[in-house]
């Protein structure tokens, strides 16, 4: 049985939701998985990548940056990641990818260009839209909340975004990524 390691960095839970869905689809294919929110673990606790048939890494994007934990993991484990390239998947979760026309740009800006500098070329990449929880008591607070609201009003034309969950994740696109990753494992 194949075994996949899923690693992710999330700030507000959106990327975790995507990783959970990817994991579910992969498990439905009869593939064993282990999943880690890198924020909750010391990087030394993450097993060697050679113990897995495939690795998927996901990160949220904020102000054009990966989460710190994903950036740190990729930099520290780049030698292992280079060896896994044929069964390495990488995705980002960002507002830019909320528009289908901007997915290629998000992939280039937030995945390809950053990983090429490290000499890493994943076999599968994608960029998914984000979700913005503007309900009362959500984790999205302070200046970030004000910026998101401003963008939604000015760029998206949403008059009153407050008090609502705005989910731009395309669940079919996410499932398709997971299915394609499962096919990668069959080829390897």
Return the beta strands (E) in 26-123 as ranges. 32-37, 54-60, 88-93
Question: 37 with 56, same domain?
Answer: yes
Q: Please indicate, yes or no, whether residues 136 and 64 belong to a single structural domain of this protein.
A: no
Are 128 and 18 spatial neighbours (Cβ–Cβ below 8 Å)?
Answer: yes
Per-residue pLDDT tens digits for 62-98: 878 899 999 999 999 999 999 999 999 999 998 766 6
Q: Are residues 58 and 81 in the same domain?
A: yes
Q: Are 68 and 125 members of one domain? A: yes
Same-domain pairing of 47 and 125: yes
Quote the pLDDT of residue 118: 94
Q: Is the backbone of residue 157 left (phi > 0), alpha (psi -120 to 50) or beta?
A: left
- From residue 136, alpha-carbon distances to 19, 36, 162, 165, 181 in Å are 25, 28, 8, 10, 37
- What does the alpha-carbon distance between residue 53 and residue 33 come to, in Å, rounded to a whole number? 10
Q: Residue 42: what pLDDT?
A: 92
Same domain flag for 35 and 119: yes
Q: Are residues 50 and 106 in the same domain?
A: yes
Alpha helices in 84-156 (DSSP H): 103-107, 113-116, 142-154
120 and 178 part of one domain: yes
Separation of alpha carbons 153 and 183, rounded Å: 41
Q: What CATH number has the domain bearing residue 109?
A: 3.40.50.360
pLDDT at residue 78, rounded to an integer: 96
pLDDT tens-place string over residues 8-67? 999 888 999 999 999 999 999 999 999 999 999 998 999 999 999 999 999 999 878 899
User: Same structural domain for residues 97 and 116?
Assistant: yes
Do 43 and 7 reside in the same domain of the chain? Answer: yes
Residue with tokens 């407050």: 162
For residues 79 and 136, membership in a common domain is answered with: no
pLDDT, mean over the chain: 90
What domain range includes position 146? 132-167
Q: Quick one: 86 and 162 in the same domain? A: no
Residue 161 in contact with residue 149, Cβ under 8 Å? yes
The domain total for the chain is 2
Encoding tokens for residue 161?
């975004």
């Amino acid at each position: 049985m194949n075994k996949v390691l899923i690693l992710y960095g999330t700030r507000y839970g959106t990327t975790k939701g995507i990783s959970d869905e990817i994991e579910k689809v992969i498990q439905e294919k009869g593939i064993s998985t282990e999943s880690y929110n890198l924020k909750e673990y010391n990087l030394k606790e993450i097993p060697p990548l050679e113990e897995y048939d495939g690795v998927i890494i996901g990160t949220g994007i904020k102000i054009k940056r990966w989460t710190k934990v994903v950036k740190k993991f990729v930099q520290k484990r780049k030698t292992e990641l280079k060896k896994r390239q044929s069964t390495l998947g990488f995705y980002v979760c960002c507002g830019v990818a909320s528009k289908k026309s901007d997915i290629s740009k998000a992939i280039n800006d937030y995945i390809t260009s950053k990983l090429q500098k490290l000499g890493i070329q994943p076999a599968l990449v994608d960029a998914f839209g984000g979700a913005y929880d503007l309900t009362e008591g959500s984790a999205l607070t302070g200046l970030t909340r004000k910026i998101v609201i401003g963008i939604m009003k000015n760029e998206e034309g949403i008059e009153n975004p407050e008090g609502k969950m705005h989910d731009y994740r395309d669940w079919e696109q996410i499932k398709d990524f997971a299915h394609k990753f499962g096919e990668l494992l069959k080829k390897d």
